[in-house]
Amino acid sequence: MLVSALMALPESLAQQVRGRRRAFRRRILQWVAANLRSYPWRGSDRTSYQILVAELLLKRTTATAAAKVYEGFLSRFPSMQAVADAPLSSLEEALSRVGLQHQRAKGFKEAANYVVAHGAIPGDHEALSRVPHVGPYSAAAITSFAYGVPAAVVDSNVERILKRVFRTALPDKPNRALLEGLAWELLPLEEHRQFNWGLLDLGALVCRYVRPRCAGCPLRDVCDFATVTEGDRQTVGSVKG
């Protein structure tokens, strides 16, 4: 974002971000060093095409399922031009193991036709968002993971982390724009890839929707949700005693 998102945040939330940002970043990056999941599309050497393929594959399926077809798809269709030139039936065959192959094949074809018509995969977030079937989330992922340009990657897992960590400073039902602004303000400029991967994995593995593992969370001491949860446990324990 060219203009600091912090300027647009409510003052109470902005103060919370200023007070916790350094610790938040440090804890995520430390956790990543030992806990980051390994997927074939992760790595600083992946191209924008390779990341775009991953993002399209990951829609409405699991990372485990996407990983099973990822390398094979790249070998068979090594460029957007190859996807644009391929018969729809060939794309469907390559995507059959992840399901919804007809819809996925059409999505790949429409994205490829757009990119080929415009000459290349765009290099900025706004232009990437206009590629069919990409959208703001995938545009941020391509910007950060492929181009190495800081961009906050905010999916439902990341939203859940932010809503829990800043629970007392956020409204009851924060909108996506507010959460994205918050994510941008927490984003480090130098290690944004690892930070983004870390948030995605932390939300999937630790800060889960059901039965979050607060005791083992690296953000526990800066998180409103964990503090409230711990307080509830202590209250229950004192009553039982």
Q: Which of 49, 55, 180, 201 is catalytic?
A: 55
Cβ neighbourhood burial of 50 (10 Å; 0-12, 13-18, 19+) = buried
In single-letter form, the type of residue at position 29 comes to L
Residue with tokens 């202590």: 234
Q: Which of 39, 93, 110, 155 is catalytic?
A: 155
- DSSP structure string for 94-113: HHGGGS-HHHHHHHHHHHHH
Q: Among candidates 162, 117, 147, 139, which has minimal Cα distance to 5? A: 162
Q: Is 155 marked active-site?
A: yes
Decide: 105 and 99 in contact? Cβ < 8 Å: no
CA distance linking residue 28 with residue 219, whole number of Å: 8
Q: Is 55 marked active-site?
A: yes
Q: Is 209 marked active-site?
A: no
Q: Which of 70, 114, 137, 147 is catalytic?
A: 137
Residue with tokens 């890839």: 193
Q: Among candidates 202, 111, 107, 110, which has minimal Cα distance to 153? A: 202
User: Which residues are annotated as catalytic?
Assistant: 55, 137, 155
